[in-house]
Structure 1
Amino acid sequence: MSVAYVLRLPALRIQQGIHTLYSFAVDGKLIHNFAAVSRIKRDDDGDLLGYQRPETYKHVLSIRRYLEGEGALMPNSLTVAFGQQVHFEPFDIDMPDAATVGYAIFGVLVIPIDPTQDDADKPAWIVDGQQRSAAIRDAALDQWPVPIVGFIADPEEQRTQFLLVNSVKPLPKGLIHELLPSATGTLPPAWARRQVPATILAQLNTTPGAFAGAIRTPTEPDGRITDNAVLRMIETSLYNGALYQYRNPVDGAVNVDAAVAHLTVFWDLVARRWPAAWKFAPRLSRLTHGVGIQALGVIMDDLTTDQLNPDHVWAALDRIGDQAAWTFADGHWELRNGETRRWSGFQNTGADVRLLSDHLRHLAGLLG
Structure 2
Amino acid sequence: MTRTRSDGRSRAGEPVKQLRLPALRIRQGRGRDLYSFAIDGKLVPQIATVSRIRRDEKTRLHGYQRPEVLNHVAAIRRYIETDDSPLLPNAIVIAFDDRVRFEAGAADPGSPEYVQSGTLVIPVTDGPEHDRPGFIVDGQQRCAAIRDARIEQFPVTISAFITNETADQRSQFILVNSTKALPKGLIHELLPGASGALPVPLRVRQLPATLLERLNFETGSPLHRMIQTPTNPTGHIKDNSVLRMLENSLSDGALYRFRNDEALPYTGQMFTLLCSFWAGVRDVFPDAWNKPPRKSRLMHGAGIISMGYLMDAIAHARQDDEGMVDKDEFAADLKAIADDCCWTEGVWTFSDGVTRRWNDIQNTPRDIQRVTDFLLSRYRAVGR
The CA deviation string for residues 19-73 of structure 1, in whole angstroms up to 9 with x for no partner, is 0011000110010111010111112222211100000000000000000011111
Q: 1:366 to 1:157 in 2, by over 3 A?
A: farther
Residue 21 of structure 2 corresponds to: 9
**1:123 and 2:145 correspond:** no
Matches within 5 A, 1:122-271: 122-153=132-163, 154-207=165-218, 208-251=220-263, 253-271=264-282
The CA deviation string for residues 112-131 of structure 1, in whole angstroms up to 9 with x for no partner, is 1113x222221000000000
Please give the alpha-carbon distance, in whole angstroms, between the structure 2 residues aligned to 1:77 and 1:367.
63
Q: 1:175 to 1:3 in 2, by over 3 A?
A: farther
Please give the alpha-carbon distance, in whole angstroms, between the structure 1 residues aligned to 2:252 and 2:342.
28
Tell me if structure 1 keeps the 8 A contact 2:186–2:229. yes
**1:56 and 2:69 correspond:** yes
AA aligned opposite 1:68: E
Q: Does the residue aligned with 1:6 lie in a helix, a strand or coil?
A: strand
Which aligned segments of 4 or more residues in structure 1 are displaced greater than 6 angstroms? none
Q: Does the residue aligned with 2:265 lie in a helix, a strand or coil?
A: coil
Residue 344 of structure 1 corresponds to: 359
Tell me if structure 1 keeps the 8 A contact 2:225–2:232. yes
Please give the alpha-carbon distance, in whole angstroms, between the structure 1 residues aligned to 2:43 and 2:244.
44
Tell me if structure 1 keeps the 8 A contact 2:280–2:328. no
Picking from 295, 317, 334, the partner of 1:317 is 334
Residue 3 of structure 2 corresponds to: none
Tell me if structure 2 keeps the 8 A contact 1:3–1:113. no
AA aligned opposite 1:341: R
Please give the alpha-carbon distance, in whole angstroms, between the structure 2 residues aligned to 1:184 and 1:59.
30
Tell me if structure 1 keeps the 8 A contact 2:350–2:370. no
The CA deviation string for residues 70-112 of structure 1, in whole angstroms up to 9 with x for no partner, is 1111111000000011001112x364x33x2211111110001
Residue 44 of structure 2 corresponds to: 31
Please give the alpha-carbon distance, in whole angstroms, between the structure 2 residues aligned to 1:262 and 1:145.
55
The CA deviation string for residues 162-206 of structure 1, in whole angstroms up to 9 with x for no partner, is 011111111111001001111111111111101000001001111
AA aligned opposite 1:258: Q
Residue 78 of structure 1 corresponds to: 92
Cα distance, 1:279 vs. partner?
A: 2.1
Please give the alpha-carbon distance, in whole angstroms, between the structure 2 residues aligned to 1:249 and 1:189.
15
Q: Does the residue aligned with 2:335 lie in a helix, a strand or coil?
A: helix
Cα distance, 1:276 vs. partner?
A: 2.1
Tell me if structure 1 keeps the 8 A contact 2:273–2:326. no
Residue 295 of structure 1 corresponds to: 306
Cα distance, 1:336 vs. partner?
A: 4.3
Residue 109 of structure 1 corresponds to: 120
AA aligned opposite 1:25: A
AA aligned opposite 2:244: R
Please give the alpha-carbon distance, in whole angstroms, between the structure 2 residues aligned to 1:250 and 1:130.
40
Please give the alpha-carbon distance, in whole angstroms, between the structure 1 residues aligned to 2:278 and 2:143.
44
Cα distance, 1:338 vs. partner?
A: 4.4
Please give the alpha-carbon distance, in whole angstroms, between the structure 1 residues aligned to 2:135 and 2:19.
16
AA aligned opposite 2:82: G
AA aligned opposite 1:281: P
Tell me if structure 2 keeps the 8 A contact 1:12–1:107. yes
Identity of counterpart residues, as a percentage?
47
Cα distance, 1:265 vs. partner?
A: 0.9
**1:47 and 2:64 correspond:** no
AA aligned opposite 1:349: T
AA aligned opposite 1:148: I
The CA deviation string for residues 219-277 of structure 1, in whole angstroms up to 9 with x for no partner, is 111111100000110111012100112121534x3111211111011001111111121
Q: 1:249 to 1:54 in 2, by over 3 A?
A: closer
Unaligned runs of 5+ in 2: 1-9
Tell me if structure 2 keeps the 8 A contact 1:316–1:365. no
How many residues in Structure 1 have an aligned counterpart in Structure 2?
A: 361
Picking from 17, 20, 23, the partner of 2:33 is 20
Q: Does the residue aligned with 1:31 lie in a helix, a strand or coil?
A: helix
Name the TM-score, length of structure 1 as normaliser.
0.94
Please give the alpha-carbon distance, in whole angstroms, between the structure 2 residues aligned to 1:21 and 1:132.
21
Q: Does the residue aligned with 2:23 lie in a helix, a strand or coil?
A: strand
Q: 1:366 to 1:127 in 2, by over 3 A?
A: farther
